[in-house]
């Protein structure tokens, strides 16, 4: 009996083990099939999202502080900034992660996903050590102007060393997807559009320009007919009109008084107060330049961008196109009047309407749900320094020219060599290495000597000396990280200096109005809005950085990141992931 029971128990045990094995194998098979199916569905979803985004529109609002979104919120309409916020994603704690915070490096970094350390655009201008002169970020003598006979069109992105997400999209689509850049400023158009762009257009307004939209032979040999037609129309000239406040000026309670000593008036007008007769003032203020220095420059930019969308048939096929639009007039108005001015408030209220026009045109011509937009800025700006002084916030002006002369005099008296410091630009000093070597002097010793001298100046907070290979050797502190990301070993200067907060170089153009370029929050904190196809609705106070934009757009499209990108995709804004 015991043996029978034992055999029965053993048989039961074997049967149970076989049953369990069969169940586990079945579950494993089902699980694998489910995972495979889920992976396939997920992959299909991402791919579907990437090819159905017909147009990416990258908007840069030049010199836009983040608080312009919140300060003027009650006066914005529902179709511009608020539409992007209410239907899209708002990154409220978005910052530049390098210095200098200038227009050219700002635009380059937004679209390449990297910083001047890698893309090489270390300023609007910088001292070229090989050419031994100052160079402008997009000047290119190897190309010719298209649309005018002068030199204003001799521009290209040849000094930018890395690709943009527009370049990567062109490569991914075998050059079938278009890229077009538009801005009043040449650098605001050329750098975002990248190296493979079909076109970049800018407004010829500098030095009493023609008022035409132009380009260079880097892109084409002749303007398209639609651009010629736009230039021949009366659209641009229609903005030589009165600039008065959009609403009753007494309701502009978010800004200071209209009459004050902190703003710079247009030539030919005694006070910087509304209204401004642009037609009457144009001859004394550079002709078409006065349009760029008013909110109507942004309106003209929207006019041209909408014409480009229609005439270039952007977003009309299965290959994603890229349109970059930089609104430059906000920077021009900010420099002249400052962040606390009624002129800046009015400029943003009018820009809000121009954004609404642009979004409505995208809805009509590309189709609601078929395009994706992001909006950010190339830098922000501090309040006017003399205004800061008036409210007892420490601030001041530093005379860099006097400083350079004093240091050169010191070096001459000690070593008998004149003008060893050949340039001061972007808070950097460039030394004449050839002179130093020819005279058998110790380059590093001179750098150290000048560093100690600089640190003794009032209003200079910190000084950094590069090593013998011009590598930045700062510590791992927050400021040092920003300086390091903005320092290009081959292009940047020998010595870097940092001002106290609310200190600018003393120059005629910024004694009224404002300037920018520092690592402080008033220069680094800018908006970042995502809107449209593939974008979730939401907001975050999580810190994001300007170099995160290009990887995010690349991830949305399913394409390679720009080759020098150091940012991270913002997965939480994408509905595809």
Can you give the pLDDT at residue 577?
59
Residue range 515-520: mean pLDDT, rounded? 96
* Mean pLDDT computed over every residue of the chain: 91
Nearest Cα to 114, choosing from 514, 484, 535?
Answer: 484
Return the percentage of the chain with pLDDT > 90, whole number: 88
* Token representation of residue 57: 């529109």
User: What's the average model confidence in pLDDT over 60-79?
Assistant: 98
**Using 50, 70 and 90 to split pLDDT, how confident is the model at 29?**
very low
Q: Which residues contact 153 (CB under 8 A, 6 or more apart)?
A: 144, 145, 146, 147, 204, 214, 215, 216
Domain shared by 422 and 461, yes or no: yes
Q: Determine, yes or no, domain membership for 231.
A: yes
Say whether pLDDT at 566 is over 70: yes
Does the active-site annotation cover 103? yes
- Examine residue 347 and state whether it is found in any structural domain, yes or no: yes
For the purposes of burial, counting CB atoms within 10 Å of the CB of 295, is it exposed (0-12), middle (13-18) or buried (19 or more)?
Answer: buried
CATH number of domain containing 427: 3.30.1360.150
pLDDT tier, 330 (very low <50, low <70, confident <90, very high otherwise): very high
Q: Are residues 361 and 405 in the same domain?
A: no
Residue-number span of the structural domain to which 205 is assigned: 53-366+378-383
Q: Are residues 159 and 299 in the same domain?
A: yes
Tell me: the pLDDT tens digits for 346-401?
A: 999 999 999 999 999 999 999 999 999 999 999 999 999 999 999 999 999 999 99
Closest to 506 (Cα-Cα) out of 421, 347, 401, 397: 397
Residue 43's H or E segment, with its range, is helix 2-52
Specify the pLDDT at position 547: 98
Collapsing DSSP states into helix, strand and coil, what is residue 4? helix
What's the pLDDT band for 511 if we cut at 50, 70, 90? confident
Catalytic entry in 53, 101, 103, 466: 103
Tell me: do 121 and 268 sit in the same domain: yes
pLDDT digits (tens, 9 = 90+) for 527-562: 999 999 999 999 999 999 999 999 999 999 999 999
Same-domain check for residues 170 and 279? yes
Question: Predicted confidence band at 416 (pLDDT cuts at 50, 70, 90)?
Answer: very high
406 in the same domain as 262? no
Q: What is the CA radius of gyration of the chain?
A: 28
User: At 122, is the secondary structure helix, strand, or coil?
Assistant: coil
Nearest 5°: the CA angle 75, 76, 77 is 120
Quick one: pLDDT at residue 23? Answer: 39
Judgement on whether residues 291 and 421 belong to the same structural domain of the protein: no
What's the average model confidence in pLDDT over 295-315? 98
Q: What average pLDDT does range 224-228 have in this prediction?
A: 98
Total domains, the chain: 2
Mean pLDDT, range 154-163, rounded to an integer: 98
The yes-or-no verdict on residue 252 having pLDDT over 80 is yes
Is 60 exceeded by the pLDDT of residue 37? no
- For residue 35, pLDDT over 60 is answered with no
Contact between 235 and 303 (Cβ < 8 Å)? yes
What would the mean pLDDT of 200-221 be, rounded to a whole number?
97
376 contacts 94 by C-beta, under 8 angstroms: yes
Encode pLDDT of 440-451 as tens digits.
999 999 999 999
pLDDT bin (cut points 50, 70, 90) of residue 473 is: confident
pLDDT digits (tens, 9 = 90+) for 81-121: 999 999 999 999 999 999 999 999 999 999 999 999 999 99
Find out whether 543 and 500 touch, Cβ atoms under 8 Å: no
């Amino acid at each position: 009996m015991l043996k029978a029971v034992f055999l029965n128990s053993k048989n039961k045990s074997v049967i149970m083990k076989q049953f369990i094995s069969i169940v586990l194998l079945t579950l494993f098979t089902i699980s694998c099939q489910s995972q495979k199916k889920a992976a396939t569905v997920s992959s299909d979803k991402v791919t579907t999202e990437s090819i159905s985004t017909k147009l990416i529109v990258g908007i840069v609002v030049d010199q836009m502080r983040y608080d312009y979104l919140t300060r003027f919120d009650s006066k914005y309409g529902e179709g511009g900034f608020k539409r992007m916020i209410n239907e899209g994603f708002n990154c409220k704690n978005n910052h530049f992660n390098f210095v200098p915070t200038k227009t050219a490096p700002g635009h380059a970094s937004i679209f390449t996903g990297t910083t001047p350390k890698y893309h090489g655009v270390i300023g609007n201008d910088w001292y070229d050590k090989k050419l031994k002169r100052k160079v402008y970020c997009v000047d290119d003598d190897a190309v010719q102007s298209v649309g005018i006979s002068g030199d204003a069109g001799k521009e290209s992105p040849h000094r930018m060393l890395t690709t943009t997400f527009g370049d990567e999209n062109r490569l991914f689509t075998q050059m079938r997807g278009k890229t077009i850049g538009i801005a009043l400023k040449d650098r605001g158009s050329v750098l975002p559009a990248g190296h493979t762009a079909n076109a970049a257009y800018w407004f010829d307004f500098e030095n009493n320009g023609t008022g035409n939209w132009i380009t260079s032979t880097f892109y084409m040999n002749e303007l398209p007919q639609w651009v010629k037609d736009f230039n021949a129309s009366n659209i641009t000239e229609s903005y030589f009109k009165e600039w008065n406040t959009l609403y009753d000026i007494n309701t502009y309670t978010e800004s200071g008084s209209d009459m004050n000593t902190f703003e710079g008036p247009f030539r030919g007008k005694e006070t910087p107060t509304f209204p401004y007769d642009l037609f009457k003032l144009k001859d004394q203020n550079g002709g078409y330049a006065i349009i760029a220095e008013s909110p109507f420059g942004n309106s003209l930019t929207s006019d041209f961008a909408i014409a480009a969308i229609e005439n270039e048939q952007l977003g009309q096929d299965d290959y994603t196109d890229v349109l970059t639009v930089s609104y430059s007039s906000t920077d021009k108005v900010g420099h002249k009047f400052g962040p606390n001015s009624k002129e800046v408030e009015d400029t943003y209220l009018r820009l809000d309407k121009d954004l609404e026009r642009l979004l409505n045109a995208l809805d009509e011509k590309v189709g609601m749900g078929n395009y994706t937009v992001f909006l950010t800025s190339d830098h922000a700006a501090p309040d006017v320094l003399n205004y800061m002084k008036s409210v007892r916030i420490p601030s001041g002006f530093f005379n860099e020219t006097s400083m350079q002369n004093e240091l050169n005099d010191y070096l001459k008296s000690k070593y008998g060599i004149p003008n060893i410091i050949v340039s001061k630009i972007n808070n950097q000093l460039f030394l004449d290495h050839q002179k130093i070597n020819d005279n058998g002097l110790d380059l590093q010793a001179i750098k150290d000597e000048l560093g100690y001298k600089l640190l003794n100046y009032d209003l200079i907070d910190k000084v950094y000396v590069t090593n013998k290979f011009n590598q930045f050797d700062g510590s791992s502190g927050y400021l040092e990280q920003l300086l390091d990301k903005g320092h290009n070993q081959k292009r940047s200067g020998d010595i870097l200096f940092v001002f106290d907060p609310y200190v600018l170089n003393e120059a005629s153009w910024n004694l009224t109005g404002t300037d920018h370029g520092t690592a402080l929050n008033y220069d680094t904190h800018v908006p970042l809005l995502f809107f449209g196809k593939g974008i979730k609705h939401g907001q975050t106070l999580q810190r994001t950085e300007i170099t995160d934009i290009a990887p995010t757009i690349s991830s949305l499209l399913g394409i390679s990141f720009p080759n020098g990108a150091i940012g991270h995709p913002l997965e939480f804004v994408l509905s595809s992931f």
